[in-house]
Amino acid sequence: MSQNLHRIVEQVDQRKQELIDLLKKLISFRTPAPPARNTKEAQSFVAEFLKNLGFKIDMWDVYPGDPNVVGVLKGKNSQNYKSLIVNGHIDVAEVDENEDWEVNPFKPVVKDGVVVGRGAADMKGGLAGALFAIQLLREAENELPGDLIFQSVIGEEVGEAGTLQCCKRGYKADFAVVVDTSDLHIQGQGGVITGWITVKSKETFHDAMRRNMIHAGGRLFGANAIEKMMKVIEGLQELERHWAVTKSYPGFPPGSNTINPAVIEGGRHAAFIADECRLWITVHYYPNESYEEVAKEIEEHLKMVAQGDVWLRENPPTFKWGGTSMIEDRGEIFPSLEVDPTHPGVQLLARSHRDVCKTDPIIDVSQTVTDGGWLGEAGISTAIYGPGDLHNAHAVNEHLSIDQLVDYTKVMLTFIYQWCHTKSDGQKEWL
């Protein structure tokens, strides 16, 4: 680490209270999703923060009241040096009025070495640390040779891919760090896709006709869609067990690729034979799989299940996969993300962690999902690296260790400086 960089890193300890205050400020903005549509004030704060550091600001509504913010700090020699995206979401998990919080979730407090408040671990701690690291770099009048792009996005908690909108808007870089909850592990992730499976009868019958369709001699080719959905669910359970035996991925416990029947809807009322039934499923899959492949596999399996049933053969299930919002259209997609340990960005992030924390970093896979998959799918090499742990994410009395936040801020400061001082041919100006 150069003497100049070392002096800047020392500022994190000296100005720790400013870092804590920044995190508390971010937490104080009420941005739970659901209900969502509440991030404008918080995003305006982030935009102004970046603007004051010399970033060019791009702010646009993804949904009314929920804007994305992208700040771009052009490097002094962009053509010849590496570029970086730092990405995080401003929305936080919902808070139920019946939850037993010790404090107001949006009036954060410092207690026993932690900051307590909604979003401390997931993931306003990551945003605060990254923003403060950039602030210290800029205050040291450090002009980075490579481009630095900061993305504060909306909607991650409810599958509203603000990050996907950034990708569609054309933002790219040589590497990206998603500063979401990882307990300072460098991570990839599996993926998640939701889907609706519908079983629908071509005809509707009075409930008095049930005897005619289920007993010998009834002479009515009909069925109850809810009961036929039971066969579909049995087929999904069979496929889930098959996946647990035949598929695996390092870092995941066996059977982590699951198919969860989450919500079932069906029927009109008690005087009708149910002529339609809809099943909402959530599918977790491994980092080396795509949501398109997984959806196709489920469809093909259930079509075979339908072929084994006289009525389903003529009335096969239909499918609707994914969605852009759990609020707007009751669906979501989180693409998977594989991390390449040999990628120069991953190696430098690991070295930065080692220099600051004096321990070897853990490179593994997240047991949940983040927006990192969208960046990876856009062709941007990406890793997840942030403070906080999943035990605290979404939890009552959510909190974040101040010591970990300080270490994380130092790592990000070191990494941003060194990555943006790395020539495009891989030479390191900062050595």
The residues carrying an active-site annotation are 91, 156
Edge-first strand order for the sheet with 66-73 is 56-63, 66-73, 148-153, 84-89, 175-178, 382-384, 186-189, 363-366
Cite the DSSP H helix spans in 272-332: 291-307, 310-314
Is the Cβ–Cβ distance between 84 and 352 less than 8 Å? no
Three-state secondary structure call for residue 180? coil
- Enter the DSSP assignment of 120: I
Q: What are the angstrom distances between the C-alpha of 270 and each of 208, 210, 266?
A: 11, 12, 11
Q: How far is CA 388 from the centre of its chain?
A: 14
**Please, how many CA atoms are within 13 Å of residue 295, restricted to the half-sphere of its CB?**
19
Is the Cβ–Cβ distance between 417 and 8 less than 8 Å? yes
**Rounded CA separation 80/51 (Å):** 25
Q: Quote the crossing angle between the two packed helices 16-28 and 3-14, to the nearest 10°.
A: 60
Q: In the numeric block, which tokens belong to residue 429? A: 């100006």
Q: Could you identify the residue written with the tokens 């999703």?
A: 33
Q: Could you identify the residue written with the tokens 């509707």?
A: 204
Using a 10 angstrom Cβ sphere, with 0-12 exposed, 13-18 middle and 19 or more buried, the burial of residue 103 is: middle
